[in-house]
Amino acid sequence: MAAAIRAEVAERVRAFGDRPPGLAVILAGHDPASEVYVRGKIRACEELGIHSEQLLPPAEVSTAELLALVEALNASDQIDGILVQLPLPPQVDAGAVLLAVSPEKDVDGFHPVNLGRLVTQRPGPVPCTPAGIIQLLKRNDIAIAGKEAVVVGRSDIVGKPLALLLLHEHATVTIAHSRTRNLEQVCQRAELLFAAVGKAAMLNERHIHPGAVVVDVGVNRLTRAEDVERYFPGNAKRREEFERRGSTLIGDVDPRAACALASAFTPVPGGVGPLTIAMLMANTVAAAERRRRGQWTVDSKEGPG
């Protein structure tokens, strides 16, 4: 699915000729996970012909310095999309920096203006992971309308916007979280179950209704050999990865339960992650198309993003 979206995006990039769409990524400090994510995004830009700029302020950067950097990118004719990689260093006011990004260049879809457009079903950039999940369901012919959907997690980045997108697709949506009473019973109602809580294998056979579609957004690390064998029994590939790296990734769903009960299940890694980057590329190209036309709204022909 991610490859198909990227191929469609590449075709749209070719229509720009000598002045391709431009994406700027701000990576402040030296968070190892963030560095990996940013490398993936820059590599995707190179593969699709999107102009990319990587800005690397030091870990001691101030809020004022980042705000000045964002303002310069807002004014740049070469940049159509701005991405501020989170987390930012602790002394930085992350909210102020994200708010400073022009809504037209907010390819993450995090700006309050764009979240407001999402709530009211007006066109605009949509947070990449939720947008990718909707594409995943549609391109696999998994019906959304009329289905009982449960989103476990209420973050501004995934849980809330995903719930809104599902609602716009006519699902009946429940948002569950750490204080939800009887979480197992709530999840058992789900025909479409989405896990985005950030806790390894939190959802298990008690949460999954037989035949449910399970989308696992979580990315967690297992650092104990006994846990690797527990969740991936007899899996030589996982065992080798653990021995080589000292850890292996797992989502928020126990993969044993999902494989036994779900009708469809996204793996971790290799499930939602590639779609997130594909949708970032789509959002960047859509932003460039809007700027080229001199308009803010997105027409229905633009496709993802």
Active site residues: 41, 85, 108
Q: Which residues contact 158 (CB under 8 A, 6 or more apart)?
A: 127, 129, 130, 196, 217
State both tokens at 179. 């204080």
Question: What's the DSSP call for residue 222?
Answer: E
Cross-strand bridge partners of residue 213:
192, 264
* Helices assigned H by DSSP within the chain: 2-14, 32-48, 63-75, 94-100, 112-119, 128-139, 159-168, 183-188, 225-231, 236-245, 255-261, 272-293
* Helices assigned H by DSSP within 169-271: 183-188, 225-231, 236-245, 255-261
Q: To which residue do tokens 């075709």 refer? A: 11
Burial class (CB in 10 A: 0-12, 13-18, 19+), 16: middle
If DSSP codes are grouped into helix, strand and coil, which group holds residue 6?
helix
C-alpha atoms less than 13 angstroms from C-alpha of 90 in its C-beta half-sphere: 0
Integer Cα distance of 4 and 48 in angstroms: 12
